Amino acid sequence: MTATHNHERMEHDALTALAAEIRACTACPLHRSARQAVPGEGSAESGIFFLGEAPGYNEDQQGRPFVGAAGQLLDELLAGIGLDRGKVFITNVVRHRPPENRDPLPEEIAACDVWLRRHLELLRPRVVVTLGRHAMYKFFPAESISRVHGRIRATPGGLAVFPIFHPAAALHQPALRSALVADFAALALFLAAEPPKPAPPEPRPADQMTLFRD
């Protein structure tokens, strides 16, 4: 077995073990109403880590992220820049479906912080692509997604973050689809080039997050 294959096997085993921990999580009340947890899936091959909001009905049924209509659009956008799901990692801010697809509550998001940290520590992505405002708020809580989407940013700890609209938003507002396509084209350019150091966010009191700081 080559060193590359051995590393891939170790990564797969670690992701499988982490997924089992997430499936057993009872840290917030969401586990009581959801059918099952949705830990996330994919690999570190491309260095791209997609972070969405929360599982929906289809995700809750299948235990996989982005398998509904928004997931189909995400697959199309990935294919448009020459990627497929198996080469990226996809997960959500919360890992159980909120009742009636409501927005996740702050305490539910906080309860899932540990799983996001664990995934980032394990995969060490080149860039985190946040899908929608809830995912963006994990890193830049004072920002507006309409202002910063499609541009690489950096957290205080140096993690590269690329905010974009959630694919579900484009399904409800077709005018956003062109913005999503443009954002994925910008993401492809970032990945193809030697990435420059992302510009740090403008200093704001609400940006003083400890999440992912060294």
pLDDT at residue 1, rounded to an integer:
55
Range of the domain at 59: 3-197
Residues above pLDDT 90, as percent of the chain: 80
pLDDT at residue 199, rounded to an integer:
43
pLDDT at residue 209, rounded to an integer:
36
Q: Does some domain include residue 203? A: no
Smallest CA-to-CA distance from 187 within 130, 111, 122, 143 is with 130
Q: What is the mean pLDDT of the chain?
A: 89
Q: Does some domain include residue 135? A: yes
67's tokens: 């398998």
Query: Is pLDDT above 50 for 28?
Result: yes
Q: Does some domain include residue 97? A: yes
Would strands 41-42 and 89-92 be described as parallel, antiparallel, or unpaired? antiparallel
pLDDT at residue 102, rounded to an integer:
95
Asked if 89 contacts 119 with a C-beta cutoff of 8 angstroms, the reply is yes
Q: Does some domain include residue 80? A: yes
SS3 132: coil
Query: Is pLDDT above 70 for 140?
Result: yes
pLDDT at residue 3, rounded to an integer:
64
Our CA dihedral for 53, 195, 179, 49, rounded to 10 degrees, sits at -20
pTM over 0.95: no
Q: How far apart are the first and last CA of the chain?
A: 34
Q: Stretch 59-85: mean pLDDT, rounded?
A: 95
Q: Output DSSP code: residue 50.
A: E
Q: Does some domain include residue 204? A: no
Q: Does some domain include residue 209? A: no
Contacts of residue 196, defined as CB under 8 A and 6 or more positions apart, other chains included, come to none
Backbone angles phi and psi of 41, in degrees to 5: -155, 160
How confident is residue 10, by pLDDT bands cut at 50, 70 and 90? confident
In the chain, the number of structural domains is 1
Q: Does some domain include residue 207? A: no
Q: Does some domain include residue 208? A: no
Query: Is pLDDT above 90 for 211?
Result: no
Neighbours of 24 (CB within 10 A): 9
User: DSSP of 94-130, one letter per residue?
Assistant: SSSPPGGGPPPPHHHHHHTHHHHHHHHHHH--SEEEE
Distance between CA 38 and CA 23 in Å, rounded? 7
Contacts of residue 195, defined as CB under 8 A and 6 or more positions apart, other chains included, come to 126, 127, 152, 160
For residue 48, the domain's CATH number is: 3.40.470.10
Query: Is pLDDT above 50 for 27?
Result: yes
pLDDT at residue 198, rounded to an integer:
44
Asked if 39 contacts 18 with a C-beta cutoff of 8 angstroms, the reply is yes
19's tokens: 């997924």
pLDDT at residue 207, rounded to an integer:
39
How confident is residue 193, by pLDDT bands cut at 50, 70 and 90? confident
